[in-house]
Amino acid sequence: MIRLKNISFLWPLLVLLCCSAQKANAQTADPKATKETKKLYTNLHTLWGKALLFGHQDDLAYGVGWKYEEGRSDVKDVTGDYPALIGWDAGGLERYSPNNIDGIPFSKMRQYIITTYQHGGVTTLSWHMDNPYTGKNAWDTTSAAIPAILPGGKLHARYKASLDAFAKYLHSLRDTNGIAIPILFRPFHECTGSWFWWGAKQCTPAQFKSLFRFTVNYLRKDKKVHNLIYVFNPADFDTPDTYMERYPGDGYVDVLSFDTYQYGATDKGPAFRESLRNRLKIQERLAEEHHKIAAIGETGYVEIPDTQWWTNILWESLKGFKVSYVLVWRNAGYRPVEKDNHYYAPYKGQVSAANFLQFYQIPEVMFLEKARKSRLYQ
């Protein structure tokens, strides 16, 4: 793949010159997707393999040592720029909570999403939905929930009520002109794992596909939600067959992604890099075969103790592959209950901050300023 150097001032022109063949393949799974949603997907498809959008979970709401400071971001504190992509979680809507799973008021989250859109950035939503069978959290795997919430199941009405609440919130995500804001929606994430109630040990592949399809159909047809770009998201896999075992079909998916994290001491970095590259190779081939784009839904290295992690591990893993975006997890800081430090992007003065700035300066890496110039919704 050709490496481009010192091209930031040419970015809008480069976007316009991207090949039209990619645009021809950029069809949203929802044929009734809004104009802005279709344009975002088309532009992401056009940029796929040419630019990497950098994302961070909960970026605008809090960081290490601060919370709800207007205009602040740990990423901005280090680079002078915001992420191009910001992730949030819808967990809590299903129980009509005023706050999401991370304690962020949904009203604040709405405003952050609107602000991101107005500045040309992109929003992605995951959903750590409570187990609808037990009422406990998403990690409760004590009961087989999926058969009960599928059509004909005794809790089907309860599940539809959760989707109703989600759809109502989605319909509220509009700019000052009333335009529905496009959202990358990543439901039932890490589906090949077994730590969530929708995981591989909790349901058959057929049941999972049925749940995914019902959810998409209900949102599209019954709730008239047409501002979603749907993201399929396994966790561990080592073959194309493993990756696709729970794939619901091309008519229900726009983006292929997966989640992966580095664990352990810094000397585990090269092995993580090699594993990540092997998975990216599989995913990229599948994305091309199915005319989708490929991304990394979640990744990171907690506390980032490797001073060169951003360029030597993350970028060296991604370089040469077509990756639409990568999102690192949230900067919760010190958690008194868990008694740990929980952050995945550097804050000012953190040991990897200088290297993160080097990562920011890589021509192919896109933060908010480049995203704004690329006019992703036009």
For residue range 203-227, what is the model confidence (pLDDT) as tens digits? 999 999 999 999 999 999 999 999 9
Q: Which two tokens stand for residue 309?
A: 């992690």
Longest dimension (CA), the chain: 59
Q: Which two tokens stand for residue 254?
A: 């726009």
Are the C-beta atoms of residues 186 and 257 closer than 8 Å to each other? yes
Residue 337: pLDDT band (50, 70, 90) is: confident
Position 37 pLDDT exceeds 80: yes
Position 302 pLDDT exceeds 70: yes
Position 20 pLDDT exceeds 60: no
Distance CA 217, CA 290 (A): 20
The pLDDT value given to residue 10: 53
Q: What's the mean pLDDT in 307-315? A: 98
Residue 63 backbone dihedrals phi, psi, to 5 degrees: -155, -165
Distance CA 370, CA 376 (A): 10
Q: What's the mean pLDDT in 350-355? A: 98
**Domain boundaries 33-374, CATH class:** alpha beta
Distance CA 84, CA 365 (A): 10
In angstroms, how far is CA 244 from the centroid of its own chain?
Answer: 19
Q: What's the mean pLDDT in 312-320? A: 97
The partner residues of 56 in beta bridges, in order of sequence, read 86, 328
Q: What is the pLDDT of residues 74-107, one digit of tens each?
A: 999 999 999 999 999 999 999 999 999 999 999 9
Residue 334: pLDDT band (50, 70, 90) is: confident
Q: What's the mean pLDDT in 277-295? A: 98
Contacts of 94 (CB under 8 A, 6+ apart): 129, 130, 132, 161, 162, 165, 166
Average pLDDT, the chain: 94
Position 61 pLDDT exceeds 80: yes
Are the C-beta atoms of residues 118 and 183 closer than 8 Å to each other? no
Nearest to 196 by CA among 248, 129, 121: 129
Distance CA 190, CA 183 (A): 19
Q: What's the mean pLDDT in 238-260? A: 98
Q: What is the pLDDT of residues 106-129, one digit of tens each?
A: 999 999 999 999 999 999 999 999
The pLDDT value given to residue 19: 46
Instruction: List active site positions.
Output: 190, 298
The pLDDT value given to residue 21: 46
Q: What's the mean pLDDT in 301-326? A: 98
Are the C-beta atoms of residues 355 and 311 closer than 8 Å to each other? yes
* DSSP string covering 299-351: E--TT---TTIIIIIIIHHHTTS--SEEEE----EEETTTTEEE-SS--TT-T
Are the C-beta atoms of residues 134 and 140 closer than 8 Å to each other? yes
Helix/strand/coil for 51: strand
Domain boundaries, the chain: 33-374
Nearest to 183 by CA among 191, 173, 175, 192: 173
Q: What is the pLDDT of residues 126-184, one digit of tens each?
A: 999 999 999 999 999 999 999 999 999 999 999 999 999 999 999 999 999 999 999 99
Distance CA 7, CA 356 (A): 19
DSSP at 161 = H
The pLDDT value given to residue 25: 64
Distance CA 40, CA 26 (A): 10
Position 201 pLDDT exceeds 60: yes
Are the C-beta atoms of residues 113 and 61 closer than 8 Å to each other? no
DSSP at 255 = E
Are the C-beta atoms of residues 207 and 249 closer than 8 Å to each other? no
**pTM here?**
0.93
* DSSP string covering 39-57: HHHHHHHHHBTTBEEEEEE
Contacts of 303 (CB under 8 A, 6+ apart): 341, 343
Are the C-beta atoms of residues 165 and 90 closer than 8 Å to each other? no
